[in-house]
Structure 1
């Protein structure tokens, strides 16, 4: 395809070709360059927009908060955040689940990733960060061309970014000054403590860029996946019934299968790109430098040869399945696979479990909601409208 703002884009749908891209030399397949249009928001040092040795070293510094043990330590807090939000849901009437999921995932990030404890700053971040992250087509122009932020049509976005930066830098300063920093388990504390082989720690600017990156990559994406899960479950009574039993019995395997099948059946992100820095032979063609090659996530996840009856929402297909990283990649792949993938899947399972334990989700015979493209993610067109009734407290 020829795209005015991106040049030549080549979509790939053969897992063998996708494997070539994901396992290819990072010096040849540049993902950071493909994400460069996000620099205006994420900053020049974000792990999403850098390549080569810089990306490798920064990624290593960011691994600790997303290791399995570190994620497990946050489960109780995630569950409490979800429970508090669910308690305020409308009773026995239809409402859009997507905004509620966004509230939960934002609070999870504020408390477990940024580790904000000051009530006033926490309240301010709840207001300011959505303004930064809620970027429409008009605001996207300034993200792609940061110089536009100095012009009056984009003054609101400029102020929102400035307000967010002020709050985040204050949080970073508090973390650095905390005498109990070594005992804290939030991601920012671990990033402040992290150092490379030469003992170099991240600067305040680098920490700010990574926090904004984690917010952008881990907020709307996880919230949208959860909204799709509720939309899917409300239209599949048998799957819903089994998921409720799994939530009550502590069957994490089935809840994980629901999450995986949701991300296959209703992909949140539609592709992951790499820009070639030199010519390569790929899919039987000689592709020149400068071309963007794109593993086509949506097409692959809907391939009937890989997933029989792909339109069917069937978590059973994920139970015990060995999923190839070149035919199932909701979190990208290769050396650029999402750092927070483990965290996102645990959050998905814990929040879904709390919902199914605390409310009766009503089923509907309405047609499934169509996906709508919002920036770079597919959201439910009507916000994943559901109807839920609180369960008796004794059963929770």
Structure 2
């Protein structure tokens, strides 16, 4: 009997409180959920339907996964006092910090989100465009003709450069290079490192000590930049997020402390680049596989048709779900989609299952940007930025950044794949191309001269 068949014969954890779920050992559930979710979650949906339970510590001892749009909508519309997203994301706390907008709830979340929002509104996005274009142009121009290029690595490099510039306004090459190197070490955390945050004494010995020392060095850089910016005399001429935060907080009764600023900055740096980099890598991989779609996207780029390029990026985000879910922890017994769940339950909106459900997106295995032209998808069926009051602050920034990057690449290079298939690989909390989406690059001028 295969594992999927075995799961289908099992009917819950022996409790009437939770919906049915697999009776696999807790450790097995955790490993399958955290490392093999692209296969595991669809197999559970086939067995149990649109709602099922899991036990997946350290993420959640009691997790209930919802995949139906109406249930997802209930969760997103629920009062923030009943469903704490910050508590549901506590696994991120060891890096993001206790004050992070991703970990705060209720009044603390409203306060921090209100301070951050002006840095990502329409006027701010228009101010970032020339900088994004300049950095994207330089990255695409640096690629070598005929070389096999890791698009995932290139997009990680570019989006990190962009977010460091946007968040900090850092132009010093040495500071930027050190931040890039040290942040990369945080992004690529080996699973064993997580143990050091459960048992802090391990941080005194390798390899945990090296990770802790790296974090301390990042903090030193961040605090140095915060002190420098507070003392700057040209603050009102600066457009980076740090300068904006310090300007805005000066007009509030509760200015952010240095520690609070640090936590917001590290959260923006980490959340604001890896997800976009992975989405772009998957999108470019799909375009490289389909010459006709690539030609259509290139024509749109040459014509300045950002609506089509945005549709391409949105379909890349749907077809390859980079963040598979959002999480909320119940602060009191709550009924969701007819299921009464006890306090402490973590409810999970499955972005992965919603994006791959043929009821939401016909022929979901096909890459079809036209899904996003002319009409928006039905509510709660396309969710790369989450939803409700916790919807990603940087959604508009990510789409603007992504369309500019696609335009710069497509107007310079023709892309072809170097392997028949690319597989999803879970790296920390994101799902990236396992083989780095390696593509072969041909300059458009060379192709025209053939």
1:387 paired residue number: 440
Alignment partner of 1:149 is 2:149: no
**Structure of greater Rg:** 2
* Structure 1 residue 65: Cα displacement: 0.8
Alignment partner of 1:268 is 2:322: yes
Evaluate the alpha carbon distance shift between residue 15 and residue 140 of structure 1 in structure 2; reply closer, same or farther with a 3 A threshold.
Answer: same
Alignment partner of 1:162 is 2:222: no
* Structure 1 residue 130: Cα displacement: 1.4
Whole-angstrom distance in 2 between the partners of 1:302 and 1:190: 39
* Structure 1 residue 145: Cα displacement: 5.7
Whole-angstrom distance in 1 between the partners of 2:200 and 2:122: 37
Whole-angstrom distance in 1 between the partners of 2:174 and 2:236: 24
2:374 paired residue number: 320
Residue of 135, 145, 152 corresponding to 1:91: 145
- CA RMSD across the alignment: 1.8
Alignment partner of 1:226 is 2:286: no
What TM-score comes out, normalization by structure 2 length? 0.84
Residue of 353, 370, 382 corresponding to 2:407: 353
What TM-score comes out, normalization by structure 1 length? 0.95
The answer on whether the counterparts of 1:301 and 1:310 sit within 8 Å (CA) in structure 2 is yes
Once the two structures are superposed, the pairs formed by residues 272-287 of structure 1 within 5 Å of their partners are 272-287=326-341
Runs of 4+ off more than 6 Å: none
Evaluate the alpha carbon distance shift between residue 247 and residue 38 of structure 1 in structure 2; reply closer, same or farther with a 3 A threshold.
Answer: same
Whole-angstrom distance in 2 between the partners of 1:307 and 1:133: 31
2:422 paired residue number: 369
Whole-angstrom distance in 1 between the partners of 2:241 and 2:435: 33
Whole-angstrom distance in 2 between the partners of 1:387 and 1:34: 41
1:244 paired residue number: 298
Once the two structures are superposed, the pairs formed by residues 295-334 of structure 1 within 5 Å of their partners are 295-334=349-388
Structure 2 spans left out of the alignment, 5+ residues: 1-53
Whole-angstrom distance in 1 between the partners of 2:201 and 2:127: 42
**Cα deviations by residue, 1:289-342 (Å, 9 ceiling, x for unpaired):** 111110111111111111111100000111122234411110111111111111
Residue of 288, 293, 308 corresponding to 2:342: 288
* Structure 1 residue 144: Cα displacement: 5.6
Evaluate the alpha carbon distance shift between residue 146 and residue 115 of structure 1 in structure 2; reply closer, same or farther with a 3 A threshold.
Answer: farther
Whole-angstrom distance in 2 between the partners of 1:45 and 1:145: 22
- The aligned length equals 393
**Cα deviations by residue, 1:346-383 (Å, 9 ceiling, x for unpaired):** 1111111100011122357x533111111111111110
* Structure 1 residue 391: Cα displacement: 3.3
* Greater length-normalized contact order (CA 8 Å, ≥ 6 residues apart): 1
Secondary structure of the equivalent of 2:411? helix
Whole-angstrom distance in 2 between the partners of 1:145 and 1:31: 25
Range with bigger deviation, 223-232 or 81-90: 81-90
Alignment partner of 1:117 is 2:171: yes
2:264 paired residue number: 210
Evaluate the alpha carbon distance shift between residue 184 and residue 147 of structure 1 in structure 2; reply closer, same or farther with a 3 A threshold.
Answer: farther
Whole-angstrom distance in 1 between the partners of 2:248 and 2:188: 30
Whole-angstrom distance in 1 between the partners of 2:343 and 2:74: 16
2:129 paired residue number: 75
The answer on whether the counterparts of 2:229 and 2:243 sit within 8 Å (CA) in structure 1 is yes
Whole-angstrom distance in 2 between the partners of 1:118 and 1:373: 33
Range with bigger deviation, 111-120 or 96-105: 111-120
Range with bigger deviation, 370-379 or 17-26: 370-379
* Structure 1 residue 2: Cα displacement: 1.7
